[in-house]
Amino acid sequence: MNPRSAGERPFGEDELLAAIRKVLSGSGPGVVIGVGDDAAVVARGGGDGVLTADILVEGVHFDRALSSARDLGFKAIVANVSDVAAMGGSPRYALISLVLSAEIEAPWVMELYGGMLGACEEYGMTLVGGDLSGGPAVVVSVAVTGEVAGNRAVTRSGARSGQRLVVTGTLGGSAGGLALARAPAAKVAEALGSDWGRALLDAHFRPHARVGEGQTLAQLGATAMMDLSDGLALDLSRLCSESVAGARVDLSSVPVAPELRRLAAALEVDPLELALSGGEDYELLAALAPQSVAEASDRLGERFGVPLSDIGEVTDGRGIVAVDAAGGERPLEAKGWDHFAGR
């Protein structure tokens, strides 16, 4: 491990490794042995370890024509950080294994690492190693370790009837940003000149993980939590399934990203639909006691400037019911975002 490489490259493999080694100091808080040995060695705090991994494949999860290498690297880290946040934990270390196809040039790889390092800095993490290979397409494989206070990790399975369902931030922005990025060039150019357009593109290409927010919700007694990576409708169905519970969702309380109204004027999109079924928002969904919601909302607002929305309640039943503003009820379809919808 620790970038070595196999596979033919158009540029010198030694040069690339040397360049990567330069970018990866491998030093950071708690790092005993960083990049360059057989394995990294890190000091460990108290509490339990949190382990997660995600793999991103060109043509499946990202399109190099749409996403800059820097944004791709940033988002690859954020997606993993978000999984740690969803347990109420703190991310600490990242391992990056990369597959590079023959047409990839060294500056692209440096930008990718730049984005990953930027995200590591934002979340107080250190990139301690990984691996490198040639191959038929770009693959970014990330593993992140973190920690959480002993026996305090928040799973998906602890939601109980009568609790409120809360969601951080706003939803649908990432899917809106992707729709915008794929729109005709003139529309994209126009949107880039607007605050709402840039906000949507940022939501997709430079998302945030809710680490402090997750810890705050855990401290305030959240008994179930997960991150919204595949859309509220599908992810809520998973949380309910793991908790053996149902839910009633007030559609008028779902925090639809406000920029989607502007997008809907430019493209044929349904803001509520994007908020329910769009993926990669990386907001947190949690189950809280009713009496804790106001305090949680206050703390998230004060500490992080992030809104918390009460979107409904956990029920005894097994189904998920959506209630519209007029009081009409319908089953909420567990419709998934697959990461390459729209193709």
Among 16, 19, 20, 40, binds a second copy (CB under 8 A): 40
Q: How far apart are CA 244 and CA 246, in angstroms?
A: 7
Between residues 126 and 256, which has the closer beta carbon with respect to a second copy?
126
4 token code pair: 């070595």
Q: How far is the CB of 132 from a second copy (least distance, A)?
A: 8
* SS3 label, residue 49: strand
How far apart, in Å, do the first and last CA atoms of the chain sit? 35
Q: Which is nearer to a second copy, 13 or 122 (CB)?
A: 13
Among 113, 79, 81, CA closest to 96: 113
Question: 12: exposed, middle or buried (C-beta count within 10 Å: 0-12, 13-18, 19+)?
Answer: exposed
| Closest CA relative to residue 172, chosen from 76, 263, 73, 286 | 263
Task: Report how many residues bind a second copy under the rule CB under 8 A.
Answer: 74
Is 43 among the residues that bind a second copy (CB under 8 A)?
yes
Q: How far is the CB of 76 from a second copy (least distance, A)?
A: 11
Report the residue number, 89 or 271, with the smaller CB distance to a second copy.
89
**Residues 48-87 interacting with a second copy (rule: CB under 8 A):** 48-57, 59-61, 80, 82-84, 86-87
Q: Identify each DSSP E strand in 188-326 by its residue range.
A: 224-228, 246-250, 283-288, 308-315, 320-323
Q: Which two tokens stand for residue 84?
A: 């740690």
Which residue, 82 or 163, is less far from a second copy as judged by CB?
A: 82
Shortest CB 19 distance to a second copy, Å: 18
Alpha-carbon span 139 to 213, nearest angstrom: 30
Closest approach of a second copy to the CB of residue 291, in Å: 26
Q: Which of 12, 15, 37, 290 binds a second copy (CB under 8 A)?
A: 37
Q: Are strands 126-134 and 90-100 parallel, antiparallel or unpaired?
A: parallel
Judged by CB, which is closer to a second copy: 73, or 146?
146
Pick one of 17, 21, 36, 182: the residue that binds a second copy (CB under 8 A).
36
* Integer Rg of the chain from CA: 21
Q: Could you say which residues in the range 222-281 bind a second copy, by CB under 8 A?
A: 225-227, 230, 242
105 C-beta neighbours (distance < 10 Å), count: 12
Q: Which of 19, 69, 96, 179 binds a second copy (CB under 8 A)?
A: 96
Kindly state the smallest distance separating residue 241's Cβ from a second copy, in Å.
10
Q: Scanning residues 117 to 176, which ones bind a second copy (CB under 8 A)?
A: 128-137, 139, 141, 143, 145-148, 150-151, 153, 155-157
